[in-house]
Homo-oligomer: A and B are copies of this chain.
Amino acid sequence: MRAEIVSIGDELLKGQRVNTNAAFIAAALAGIGVPVGRIVSCSDLEHEMVSVFTESLERADIVLVTGGLGPTRDDRTRKAVQELLDRGLELSEDAYVNLADRMKQRGVELSESLRDQAMVIEGSHVIANTRGTAAGMIIGCGERFHHHYLVLMPGVPSEMKAMMELTVLSYFAALSTTAIRHTPVKTLGIGESTLAAMIVDIEDHLPQGTTLAYLPHAAGVNLMISSIGRKQEEVDSDNRSIVDAILKRAGKFIFATSDVTLEETIGALLSSRGMTVAVAESCTGGLVASRLTDVPGSSLYFLQGFVVYSNQAKQKTLGVNKDLIESFGAVSDEVARAMAKRCLEISGADIAVSTTGIAGPSGGSPEKPVGMVCLAIATKLSGTVLSKTLFMHGDRESNKFRFSEAALRELWEYLRDQE
């Protein structure tokens, strides 16, 4: 079974939106052993959609379409499918009741244009929309299209994702016969070529059907170990053997071998050690606190954050010594250490992390260039303070993210090394 993905929308063709939906769908399909042959972005003109759908349905068993299901005039996907399959629309009672209920909860009146959102292609299997108004559809396309399937979903990422997870994946997993296993190996603090050199012999002797891909990201590189075959047991075992070999070789750089974020990994370590954390940020402007609190349940271990952007805030709110700032500068190892130490004392947390640096584009000097950051960690337990100065080479956005990533990495390494 083979799939293609069609993303509808002029905003994609004008470069006004990056197609993240297709990557999500492709990764989700890979998880149930359905490879994707092509991904096509096309305009919302009916004749163009009809020709793209026709071509994709010739090649692929399942064609997953996102976009063009909304209530406005440029939402023409249903019209194109009506023309393609020569079918009418019918009201989906389920979708209508669901829509009416949800609108009632929100106190919104059910207008004619909203009711239209429950109209589906005749003979569709309706996909409930738990996040929005437009109904999704799984459509068997009949003999003319080799009994292939067309899946229509909204282009709004949250609505599409919920449909994939709640309905589409289980629908097609039941029809798939390929066994597949993907394991991410998430690393920190090691570059692509260093990592590649470290595991070159493992890569040279991968089992048949297993591949290893390097996925560089903003602050390092992840690996994806993919195994495909007939029997799930063998596929799992091949996959596991490679993951284990890499863990043995490069374990200290690896923070996860599952789909968890660094923030979640840190949260789990804090929870399991019964520890609390607080942060004092200058250059990261709240990003470290925001990332830590992205994790559900983070209120159990995250106490508070100080975004001390101005020097006055560093002095008044955190009580960093004015002389220290004047002698060493706000971006200095000394000030970073003082920020962490004071943050620990004020918050009463077990660990405090601090950042002070220059995200740019202005504010740099030959001694302290844009991209420079000083980080520190203070802990109640050991009474010690760690600190580090690093240099990044990106624009403001990328520097700010890398600064936050470096702070989280220090925190992760500290927690990992605690027994």
Interface residues of A (CB under 8 A from B): 10-20, 22-30, 35-43, 48, 52, 70-74, 106, 111, 113-114, 131, 156, 158, 182, 184, 192-193, 196, 203, 211-216, 224, 226, 279, 281, 284-290, 292-294, 296-299, 302-310, 312-313, 316-317, 346-348, 360-363, 393-398, 400
Are the C-beta atoms of B71 and A192 separated by less than 8 Å? yes
CB-CB under 8 A from A303, the residues of chain B are 309-310, 312-313
Are the C-beta atoms of B16 and A19 separated by less than 8 Å? no
Question: CA–CA, A73 to B289, complex, Å?
Answer: 38
Which of A23, A35, A362, A400 gathers the greatest number of chain B CB atoms within 10 Å?
Answer: A23
With both beta carbons as reference points, the residue of chain B lying nearest to A200 in the complex is identified as: B73
With both beta carbons as reference points, the residue of chain B lying nearest to A18 in the complex is identified as: B23
Are the C-beta atoms of A19 and B15 separated by less than 8 Å? no
Are the C-beta atoms of A299 and B292 separated by less than 8 Å? no
Are the C-beta atoms of B43 and A40 separated by less than 8 Å? no
CB-CB under 8 A from A19, the residues of chain B are 18-19, 22-23, 39
Are the C-beta atoms of B41 and A13 separated by less than 8 Å? no
CB contact under 8 A between A10 and B213, given known A18-B19, A28-B15, A362-B296: yes
Question: CA–CA, A348 to B155, complex, Å?
Answer: 44
Choice from B279, B394, B396 contacting A131 with Cβ under 8 Å: B394
With both beta carbons as reference points, the residue of chain B lying nearest to A218 in the complex is identified as: B158
CB-CB under 8 A from A308, the residues of chain B are 304
Question: CA–CA, A113 to B191, complex, Å?
Answer: 13
Choice from B11, B286, B396 contacting A296 with Cβ under 8 Å: B396
